[in-house]
Amino acid sequence: MVSGVVLTHLHSDHVCDLSDLITTHWVMSTAPTALRIVGPVGTKAFVEATLTAMATDIGYRIGHHDDLNEGPLLDVVEVHPGETFAIGAQEILAGATDHRPVEPTLAYRVVEDGQSVVIAGDGVPCASLDELVRGASAYVQTVIREDLVKLVPSARLQDILDYHSTVGQAAATAQRAGVKALVMTHYVPAPAPGSEQEWRDLASGFDGIVVVGSDLTSLDLATMAVG
């Protein structure tokens, strides 16, 4: 069972499934248990608005299930760059990222059993991200293929180029930080089947392991084995 959710920022494509997480955690918990939701300033207002939108559904479920007597229990925490918190055994440090005009945006350094991974959301390289990633075991970064985006004749799509990391920029951040592995995620566009090596080639500026994974790809930080 998921016990905590960590948000990097409040763009719709990063939070649109939160209502499903809240609902599933609520109805599948065998006893009243709070779901912890951590994110940047603005997260509390977003969660309150989400619960308002869910009010009708919450009422239906309480009316149907005899053992549901109250709505979802949530522990919502807003964090700032430099603050630390824990979810389970994991110690987590928040750091600032640059996704302007979207502000504030965060990345997180997660530490457990001597291993660390930095999970960054959308954004371009910046000094604060470099500092957060430095010396981590792995770095997870959303990436775009600038060459492919430029082929689409849409001015609005071209706009994403100035506030997302390209594959090459992510590789450069990983190289500066000295991490062992770069894990790419949230691709734009989604990699075509069989094109994974093209994405790896664009990350040639990084000397370590490059993971071009699909959803639920895993990486053992001790062995660097990809599953």
Q: What is the pTM of this model?
A: 0.94
pLDDT at 227: 87
| Mean pLDDT calculated for residue range 132-145 | 97
pLDDT at 198: 94
pLDDT category at 148 given cuts 50, 70, 90 is very high
pLDDT category at 1 given cuts 50, 70, 90 is confident
Q: How is the chain split into domains, by residue range?
A: 4-78, 84-212
Q: What kind of architecture, by CATH, is found in domain 84-212?
A: 4-Layer Sandwich (3.60)
pLDDT tens for each residue of 57-110: 999 999 999 999 999 999 999 999 999 999 989 999 999 999 999 999 999 999
Tokens coding 34: 């709070």
Task: Specify whether the CB–CB gap between 108 and 90 falls below 8 A.
Answer: no
pLDDT at 204: 95
Q: How many residues does the chain have?
A: 227
Catalytic residues: 13
Residue 214: pLDDT above 90?
Answer: no
Between CA 209 and CA 225 the distance in angstroms is 10
Which of 45-59, 118-132, 148-162 has the lowest average pLDDT? 148-162
